Chain A
Amino acid sequence: MTPPELKAFFEPKSVVLVGASELSGEGAVSAAFFRSLAYNISKFKSGKVYGVDLSGKLEKYEKKLTKVPKGLDLAVVSLPKDLLKKNLSILLAKRTKALVLISGELEPKQKEELGNLAKKGKLLLLGPKATMGIINTGNGLVAAPYQALAPRQGNIAVISQDGGLAAAMLDWVCFHGVGISKFACVGDGLGVDAAELIRYLAQDKKTKVICVYLETVKEGRKLIGAISEATKTKPVVVLKGGSEDERIFEAALKQAKALQVQGIEEIFAVAEGLAKQPPMHGNRVAVITNVAGQARLLVKSLVKEGLVPAELSAETTKKILNKHPHVSILGFIDLGIGAKADLYKFVGEQLLSDKAVDGVVVVNAIKSTLLEPKDVREISAIAKKSKEKPVVDLAPGGEDNLHVREVLADTELPVYDQPEKAARVMKLLGMRGKILEKVERKI
């Protein structure tokens, strides 16, 4: 199947932003959104930008829609119901290729008209109520109504059916420095829906992992078809909200090989792991640590997730102990509180070349040890070299984790603050590994 042509949304050569900057009462939300949008869109340098402020206040903005040229790629609209009703037909007459309706309820008649245009392929429509808009970090397009929003560039794509959840997810990725490729808030899905976005992102070279928040689904088969197709080449991580009996929905997601998670924190923990590390083929996980307690908690979590602490081969054990006799190998590999980067690296390399190990978790305790965050950066080199087996980092705690996160930010080693999270990520890396093995067998 060819992917839907959604280029006008994400890579527009011309954009028009339409709103009214000074509204009070019912339309005030649209006005506030519009002002933030104007700020964010002003940073977009990869195409021509036009602006229309129906309140006539914003500098360099036209007062009327009629002044805007025809045939632009993308229109981003934040208007309340009554103003939208008055201006929508003018906007449509401009034959804009794609329309993002950030706010604004539609009249039933307008809804029908827009729906028909979208169905006939004459208009790419996102929304209405695509409250959090659309983002492409690759070209600096941030059409989201959230002042000075600047997510890091990365390879995780995010789609949300719900505006509030979309905002929370964006907030999360910005605060924690998670790199994203593209973002879209689906809203009512009158035109483009989650399924089409997934199909587009499945082909998107900048995207390695697709994260989706889903609620209600009208065309279940279409969605499941899109996910099944996408998961053949990249992981799709789904967070599901909703109230009705979801067992069929969840079974269908499983059948489509989506990875299901339970919350925002988990979706990005897993997505970062999948984006930065190869999937795991097997369930034997080795743990290297400089403190025993954290490693014990981690091993407990790994076992709870159905994983097995790796039993090193005699050869690996001998190699490590010959050179470093003080290292303890008993369920996990304890390097001792004096361990620095070189010891971590040496042991890590031995583990990754051991056939009895499928993946590695590196535990870095900082405060009670001689290890420093900059050592952890050196350790990340082993994760970069490992193409077949995943390596993740556990830097437990609050401040310590923050420091380690900082030094690892631009590396390929994902870092977690809790053993449960690191274990969960290993589990899902293993699930992804199994899925890929099945895909390969079918090919």
Chain B
Amino acid sequence: MSAAKKKVAEIISLARKEGRSELLELESKQVLAVWGLPVKRTELAKDPDEAVRLAREIRYPLVIKIASPDIPRRSEAKCVKVGVGSELELRQAFSEIVNNAREYKPDAKILGVTVQEYLPSSREVVVGALQDQSFGPTVWFGLLGFWVELLGDISFRLAPLSAEDAREMIQEVKGYPVLQGIRGEPSADVGALVDIIQKVGQLAHEFPDISKLNIDPIFAFEAGKGAVVANARVFLGGSK
């Protein structure tokens, strides 16, 4: 077994041991990072001082989110702060988020907050994987926002898949011109997305007990500048 595969298996088995059917945000991102995907740097801070120390490494502005296995819908719980710009703001954001979390769910287990870099605006896409009853591991792709939510503009392929299949998936969605660049905008880094889709396919293929995987969003930068996973959720199925 490759080192990456071993590490992913470890993360999954730890979650299983703790009776969880979903990985924590940090674990989900760790799985993807270990698997070779570009993942936005995310660190756990147990207290405000640790958050401040991490912020000096990651650099402001930041995105701060609650780290709790009991609060999956963090925006709804008002547990996300975007564009935190200074130490003062960071300390305020920390206590505010933790307070909101306690209010939202008093018995929630709170591990602290996650501290991540705040990335400039870019085109946002989603990549997911699922285990289809008849066809097995399958990956899907779409453009974030109304393309996926309103139009159901999603393309599918069975995993594992070739780079050519992944590229076709991207070109197949109706929103593809957005990635090519409209109104004089430069094109997005499709090659980086192809790589992400292929790796997700390989992951779903090698780990059938990952029942569902949503990477939402992925920031796609200009051609040549890559793409980065900003958030991911990994769900475990069955009981292995």
| Closest residue of A by beta carbon distance from B168 | A254
| Closest residue of B by beta carbon distance from A228 | B158
- Complex contacts, A330 vs chain B, CB 8 Å: none
| Of the residues B134, B136, B156, B164, contact of A251 by C-beta under 8 Å | B156
| Of the residues A217, A219, A248, contact of B156 by C-beta under 8 Å | A248
Q: Across the interface, do A248 and B135 meet the contact criterion of CB distance under 8 Å? A: yes
C-alpha spacing A87/B136, complex, angstroms: 40
CB of A303 to closest CB in B, whole Å: 20
Q: Across the interface, do A247 and B158 meet the contact criterion of CB distance under 8 Å? A: no
Contacting B at CB under 8 A, from A250-309, are 251-252, 254-255
Given contacts A219-B134, A438-B164, are A224 and B158 in contact (CB under 8 A)? yes
Chain B contact residues: over half helix, strand or loop, or mixed?
strand
Q: Is B138 an interface residue (CB 8 A)?
A: yes
Max chain A Cβ within 10 angstroms of own Cβ: one of B134, B136, B158, B168: B134
Q: Across the interface, do B165 and A255 meet the contact criterion of CB distance under 8 Å? A: yes
Given contacts A218-B134, A221-B135, A248-B138, are A255 and B154 in contact (CB under 8 A)? no
- Complex contacts, A71 vs chain B, CB 8 Å: none
Q: Is A249 an interface residue (CB 8 A)?
A: yes
Q: Mark B148-162, 1 if CB is under 8 A from A, else 0.
A: 000000111110010
- Complex contacts, A438 vs chain B, CB 8 Å: 164
CB of B78 to closest CB in A, whole Å: 35
Q: Is B132 an interface residue (CB 8 A)?
A: yes
- Complex contacts, B132 vs chain A, CB 8 Å: 220, 248
Q: How large is the interface on B (under 10, 10 to 19, 20 to 34, 35 or more residues)?
A: 10 to 19
Given contacts A220-B132, A247-B154, A248-B132, are A255 and B161 in contact (CB under 8 A)? yes
C-alpha spacing A207/B69, complex, angstroms: 58
C-alpha spacing A375/B157, complex, angstroms: 48
CB of A273 to closest CB in B, whole Å: 24
CB of A22 to closest CB in B, whole Å: 43
Q: Across the interface, do B156 and A224 meet the contact criterion of CB distance under 8 Å? A: no
| Closest residue of A by beta carbon distance from B130 | A248
- Complex contacts, B136 vs chain A, CB 8 Å: 220-221
Q: Mark A199-225, 1 if CB is under 8 A from B, else 0.
A: 000000000000000000111110010
Max chain B Cβ within 10 angstroms of own Cβ: one of A220, A247, A251: A251
CB of A259 to closest CB in B, whole Å: 15
CB of A57 to closest CB in B, whole Å: 46
Contacting A at CB under 8 A, from B121-142, are 132, 134-136, 138
- Complex contacts, B165 vs chain A, CB 8 Å: 255
| Closest residue of A by beta carbon distance from B135 | A220
C-alpha spacing A252/B136, complex, angstroms: 11
C-alpha spacing A218/B136, complex, angstroms: 11
Q: Mark A341-369, 1 if CB is under 8 A from B, else 0.
A: 00000000000000000000000000000
Q: Across the interface, do B154 and A252 meet the contact criterion of CB distance under 8 Å? A: no
- Complex contacts, A218 vs chain B, CB 8 Å: 134
C-alpha spacing A248/B138, complex, angstroms: 8
C-alpha spacing A267/B156, complex, angstroms: 24
| Of the residues A217, A247, A254, A255, contact of B134 by C-beta under 8 Å | A217
- Complex contacts, A221 vs chain B, CB 8 Å: 135-136, 158
C-alpha spacing A219/B168, complex, angstroms: 25
- Complex contacts, A248 vs chain B, CB 8 Å: 132, 135, 138, 156, 158
CB of B219 to closest CB in A, whole Å: 25
Contacting B at CB under 8 A, from A231-253, are 247-249, 251-252
C-alpha spacing A442/B157, complex, angstroms: 20
CB of A251 to closest CB in B, whole Å: 4
| Closest residue of B by beta carbon distance from A218 | B134
C-alpha spacing A220/B132, complex, angstroms: 9
- Complex contacts, B157 vs chain A, CB 8 Å: 251-252, 255
Q: Across the interface, do B164 and A252 meet the contact criterion of CB distance under 8 Å? A: no
- Complex contacts, B155 vs chain A, CB 8 Å: 251
Max chain A Cβ within 10 angstroms of own Cβ: one of B154, B157, B161: B157
Q: Across the interface, do A224 and B154 meet the contact criterion of CB distance under 8 Å? A: no
- Complex contacts, A247 vs chain B, CB 8 Å: 154, 156
- Complex contacts, A219 vs chain B, CB 8 Å: 134
C-alpha spacing A375/B164, complex, angstroms: 46
- Complex contacts, B138 vs chain A, CB 8 Å: 248, 251
- Complex contacts, B164 vs chain A, CB 8 Å: 438
- Complex contacts, A220 vs chain B, CB 8 Å: 132, 134-136
CB of B151 to closest CB in A, whole Å: 13
C-alpha spacing A255/B158, complex, angstroms: 8
C-alpha spacing A255/B136, complex, angstroms: 14
- Complex contacts, A249 vs chain B, CB 8 Å: 134-135
| Closest residue of A by beta carbon distance from B158 | A252
| Closest residue of B by beta carbon distance from A217 | B134
| Closest residue of B by beta carbon distance from A438 | B164
C-alpha spacing A219/B154, complex, angstroms: 24
- Complex contacts, A254 vs chain B, CB 8 Å: 168
| Closest residue of B by beta carbon distance from A216 | B134
| Closest residue of B by beta carbon distance from A219 | B134
Contacting A at CB under 8 A, from B152-203, are 154-158, 161, 164-165, 168
CB of B149 to closest CB in A, whole Å: 16
5 closest A-B pairs by beta carbon, nearest first, are A220-B135, A220-B134, A251-B156, A248-B156, A252-B158
A selection of 20 A-B contacts at a CB cut-off of 8 Å is A218-B134, A219-B134, A220-B132, A220-B134, A220-B136, A221-B135, A221-B158, A224-B135, A224-B158, A247-B154, A247-B156, A248-B135, A248-B138, A251-B155, A251-B157, A251-B158, A254-B168, A255-B158, A255-B165, A438-B164
Give 20 A-B pairs besides A251-B156, A438-B164 with Cβ atoms closer than 8 angstroms. Answer: A217-B134, A219-B134, A220-B134, A220-B135, A220-B136, A221-B136, A221-B158, A224-B135, A224-B158, A247-B154, A247-B156, A248-B135, A248-B138, A249-B135, A251-B157, A252-B157, A255-B157, A255-B158, A255-B161, A255-B165
